[in-house]
Amino acid sequence: MNEIVQPASFDLQAARRPDGERPQPARHEAARADDAREAEFRSVRLPSDHPQVRAGRLGVLIMNLGTPEATSYWPMRAYLREFLSDKRVIETPRWLWWPILNLIILQTRPKKKGRDYDLIWNKERDEGPLKTITRSQAEQAQARLREIAGDRVVVDWAMRYGKPAVKPALENLLAQGCDRILLVPMYPQYSAATSATACDKAFEALMTMRWQPSVRVAPPYHDDPVYIEALADSMRKELAKLDFEPEMILTSFHGVPRKYLLQGDPYHCHCAKTSRLLRETLGWPKERWMLTFQSRFGPDEWLQPYTDETVKGLAEKGVKRLAIVAPGFSADCLETLEELDGENREIFEHNGGEQFAYLPCLNDSEEGMRVIDHVVARELQGWL
């Protein structure tokens, strides 16, 4: 009878510790088991006319929202058209939405949003900051995994809207022999308009494949202690850099229509829990901490309180020192750099506020990579 090899536990953070305290044999045993599996696959004698195939590797696909290819009218229009055509994002009946989208929004909004994107554009790489940061997150994750697992794990990245697209990224992983793939939507709080639509795009691609990989999806991590502590550590660092102490801190999350909550979307609850756990971890007083929602669009009621109205109201009431953080964004983008640090800064200062700070997202920082390492390592258990 063949011996059954149990999968060893995989702890990326512990395995990378420089102090050498973590014993290594379990990891080496798992690596040998994986190598044996690939060697067995490659040793099968195939007919001379058999197509070349690769298998036995693991893939990790980091997925974020997306960014236009340029800030001019037509690239912006293409991006907005794809984004606003998604039924997960806009649930308005198509017969009503299509005329509004094509005859009104796509005629005027690309120019305005193009100007906004131009304010935050990475001129050196000629791309949006979300693309720059997501690429770096994937590259760092690949380098860290290579230290532990060699070339057994391949990390790639994709955008739900725009490029690089999800389907080519999945095909690239398959071409490199990844017959098991972990999808990692970079949204700490789940929403159908973010996490679900990213997975929809991946599943849509899988439907066209003859040889589908086995797939896992990393769940939301809104209350994961590693994520909360990373946010707290990042905020402590950023607050220590300020020459003032905020009278109030706002945790601002991207909004969604209120009807999504009433229809069962857990997003609001996830945001509220993240905000509460972060406040408790920092030990910040309740009366100096608020949860708000930004980026509303259209005439419907969205999750409240609204960030811009709250900022205006606080300034009018005499709050002079304000800080905003955006825990729902894994990387800085238009909604944080231009809307929070730009528009809301102006709102605050024009209504009597004096000192304003936007605290950056986790991005590809040490704290941000700690979260990604943790989520990936946790979800690869049993595979690696």
pLDDT tens-digit series, residues 314-331: 999 999 999 999 999 999
Q: How much of the chain, in percent, has pLDDT values that exceed 70?
A: 87
Confidence of residue 55 (pLDDT cuts 50, 70, 90): confident
Host H or E run for residue 324: strand 321-325
Task: Indicate whether 88 pLDDT > 80.
Answer: yes
Task: Indicate whether 25 pLDDT > 80.
Answer: no
Q: Tell me how far apart the alpha carbons of residues 9 and 373 are, in angstroms, rounded to a whole number.
A: 14
Among residues 252, 265, 334, the alpha carbon closest in space to that of 89 is found at 265
Asked if 84 and 164 count as a contact pair (C-beta separation under 8 A), the reply is no
**Residues 144-160, buried b or exposed e (16+ Cβ, 10 A)?**
bbeebbeebbbbbbbbb
pLDDT at position 281 = 98
pLDDT at position 35 = 62
pLDDT at position 33 = 61
Q: Tell me how far apart the alpha carbons of residues 248 and 284 are, in angstroms, rounded to a whole number.
A: 10
Please give the average per-residue pLDDT across 261-266, as a whole number: 96
Q: Which two tokens stand for residue 247?
A: 């009278």
Q: Is the dihedral of CA 340, 346, 351, 352 positive or negative?
A: positive
Confidence of residue 137 (pLDDT cuts 50, 70, 90): very high
With a CB cutoff of 8 Å and minimum separation 6, the contacts of 374 are 12, 13, 224, 226, 227
Average pLDDT of the chain? Answer: 91
With a CB cutoff of 8 Å and minimum separation 6, the contacts of 63 are 157, 158, 159, 160, 166, 183, 184, 185, 186, 198, 202
Task: Indicate whether 15 pLDDT > 60.
Answer: no
Residue 37, CA distances (Å) to 1, 10, 335, 380 in order? 17, 18, 45, 17
pLDDT tens-digit series, residues 273-311: 999 999 999 999 999 999 999 999 888 999 999 999 999
pLDDT at position 375 = 98
pLDDT at position 26 = 47
Task: Indicate whether 4 pLDDT > 50.
Answer: no
**Helix crossing, 106-120 with 73-84: angle to 10°?**
110
